[in-house]
Chain A
Amino acid sequence: MTAIVVGTLESSDCMITLSASDTLKIDLESIVYDAFHAQITQVIKKTLQKEGLHNVRVLCQDKGALDYTIEARMKTAIAKYREANEDES
């Protein structure tokens, strides 16, 4: 399986890395971890659910992105992840 990286480490953005995993794993690094980690994790989970992707490792390196940015980055990452791994899935 090919890993996918989208986004940037600019302020107000996030970088999402998706890689193969048997179960769903979410790792979050955030400059606003203490204040918002639950909310960010929720956005990631919801987007995965909506897109129907369940067995993947998500690394979110967050620089203070708002929910819609995280959701957009996640959607792009999921689309690219599927495209890259089309033959295998």
Chain B
Amino acid sequence: MKTVYRNLDDVFAAANIESGASLSFHHHLRDGDAVFNAVAEMLLKRKTEHLSLFPSSVFPCHTGLLQLLEKGAVHNLTTNYISGSVARHLGMHGLSGTLTMQSHGGRARALIAKESKVDVAFIAAPAVDREGNVTGTLGKAACGSLGYGVEDAIHADRVVALTDTVLERIEAPQIPGKHIDEIVVVERIGAASGIMSGTTHPTEDPVGVKIARSAYTLIRTLGLIEDGFSFQTGAGGISLAVNAHMHRHLREHHVKAAFISGGITRYHVKMLEEGLVDRLYDVQCFDTDAIRSLRENERHIAISASDYANPDNPKRVIKDLGVVILGAAEVDLEFNVNVTTDSYNNIIGGSGGHSDTAEDAAVTIIVAPLLRGRTPLITNKVTTVTTPGKDVDCLVTERGIAINARRRDLIDRCRRNGVDVMTIQELMETAHAFSGVPKKKVYKGRAYGVVHDRRGEPLDRLYTKR
């Protein structure tokens, strides 16, 4: 039996959380997360300073983090993805310490290697039993997989589970009770509407539809769709449109995939339920169908971030990945991809699993519009390197496909099968014929952050806007 607290004050006293503390959080409640803000409120109340925070992702709802930043209470911030007002604040003001942008696999690796030393991990626990066993598939704020929180729970010095649902007994917990030190029962840990904020649909935008069709043709031409192959699309609109093509292809050609990995949506669940894919390896559920499926279907498997993408884990799922479909804010002539900032050096996200899957997948395909408004996708040099060009194979846009010269095999296969391949330089010039050549302006102030690859090696730096 674990001690169950009714308020965070007692936990802060018990866990001795003070200035200089390192605290971690995971983001499965996404833009509905109330756990981070509840902890932030305590940190503000106790006037703690010099904090090192390790949220796996930051969303617009994380106003408590903004308040802590405005007070200068955060020294280091280590995360995989940032959106909303925190991104704007960091771009303007930077940080007294360092912003470290990791990948999902890199975050797990750093926790296990104790490069990220966490004093207290806060687990957003949709349901907990008296032994501290945690699952994400039950409870008022059920969110499905808790994949990004598992290493936090195993490797932090102290682990606090916040919950709004205490059950008698939880079978097959995602986080076993032995890792949980304290349970805190609060009124609610998350808002359902915000938890589902990742919900997306296959794009219906004509440009996106065309890109998805070309990407599918490319995958087919490269002979990548065969019994036992695997793929990952994530939840972007164009990626899901590619997924829809794959779905139809598998059904019509009686092909069965071995697995789909990563973030899971209803569209992937449907493929599992139709027997078109053998297993779903799920680090994050994007909608209620995915949560239900994870609860009911034994072939829908919750995995930890380490089992998903940690480069030091020989059993990681994505090392067997055949094809990954990824997005890009910018791509440069060396095929480096930026999903961390836009062309004007505003933080717009971060790697998530981008650089992990790009490195491990047999074929990495970037899908993105050649122009967004007037801003060209392809630049001489990306503003920020999220994923190095050595791990990127193909770029599919609405006006053509480019393939990294390193992948002569893929280029030859396309040419043999009548699929046009352009050089990335030609694609850039095609864009410039519409947009003109953008005048280069450097938006780089003070360096305050670093983008790490999944092994913790620096790929690029982050700069304030001025």
Residue pair A66, B441 in contact (C-beta under 8 Å): no
Bound-complex Cα distance A63 to B441 (A):
19
Among B372, B435, B440, find the residue whose CB has the most chain A CB atoms closer than 10 A.
B435
Given A34-B344, A66-B434, check contact A12 B373 (CB 8 Å).
yes
Interface of B is mostly: loop
Which residues of B have CB within 8 Å of A65? 373-374
Which residues of B have CB within 8 Å of A41? none
Does B72 sit within 8 A of A, measured CB to CB? no
Residue pair B372, A36 in contact (C-beta under 8 Å): no
Q: For residue B371, which residue of chain A has the nearest CB?
A: A66
Bound-complex Cα distance A37 to B436 (A):
11
Given A11-B373, A64-B372, A64-B374, check contact A35 B439 (CB 8 Å).
yes
Bound-complex Cα distance A66 to B375 (A):
10
When the two chains form the complex, which single residue of A11, A31, A36, A63 contacts B436, counting CB atoms closer than 8 Å? A36
The distance from the CB of A33 to the nearest CB of chain B, in whole angstroms, is 9
**A residues adjacent to B (C-beta < 8 A):** 11-12, 31-32, 34-39, 63-67
Which residues of A have CB within 8 Å of B344? 34
Residue pair A67, B436 in contact (C-beta under 8 Å): yes
Does B418 sit within 8 A of A, measured CB to CB? no
Residue pair B373, A64 in contact (C-beta under 8 Å): yes
Residue pair B439, A38 in contact (C-beta under 8 Å): yes
B residues 280-336 touching A (CB-CB < 8 Å): none
When the two chains form the complex, which single residue of A35, A37, A67 contacts B375, counting CB atoms closer than 8 Å? A35
Bound-complex Cα distance A36 to B374 (A):
9
Does B206 sit within 8 A of A, measured CB to CB? no
Does B223 sit within 8 A of A, measured CB to CB? no
Bound-complex Cα distance A26 to B372 (A):
25
**B residues adjacent to A (C-beta < 8 A):** 343-344, 371-375, 434-436, 438-441
The distance from the CB of B70 to the nearest CB of chain A, in whole angstroms, is 27
When the two chains form the complex, which single residue of B371, B372, B434, B438 contacts A35, counting CB atoms closer than 8 Å? B438
Residue pair A66, B374 in contact (C-beta under 8 Å): yes
Other than the known A11-B373, A12-B373, A34-B344, what 5 A-B pairs have Cβ atoms closer than 8 Å?
Answer: A35-B438, A35-B440, A38-B439, A64-B375, A66-B374
Bound-complex Cα distance A63 to B375 (A):
10
Q: For residue B441, which residue of chain A has the nearest CB?
A: A34
Bound-complex Cα distance A66 to B373 (A):
8
Bound-complex Cα distance A34 to B441 (A):
7
Q: For residue A10, which residue of chain B has the nearest CB?
A: B373
Q: For residue A68, which residue of chain B has the nearest CB?
A: B434
Which residues of B have CB within 8 Å of A63? 373
The 3 closest A-B pairs by CB, nearest first: A64-B373, A35-B438, A64-B374
The distance from the CB of A10 to the nearest CB of chain B, in whole angstroms, is 10
Residue pair A32, B434 in contact (C-beta under 8 Å): no
Q: For residue B439, which residue of chain A has the nearest CB?
A: A35
Which residues of A have CB within 8 Å of B439? 34-38
Residue pair A32, B441 in contact (C-beta under 8 Å): no
Residue pair B373, A39 in contact (C-beta under 8 Å): no
Bound-complex Cα distance A67 to B374 (A):
9
The distance from the CB of A20 to the nearest CB of chain B, in whole angstroms, is 30
A sample of 5 inter-chain contacts (CB < 8 A) reads A34-B441, A35-B440, A36-B374, A63-B373, A64-B375
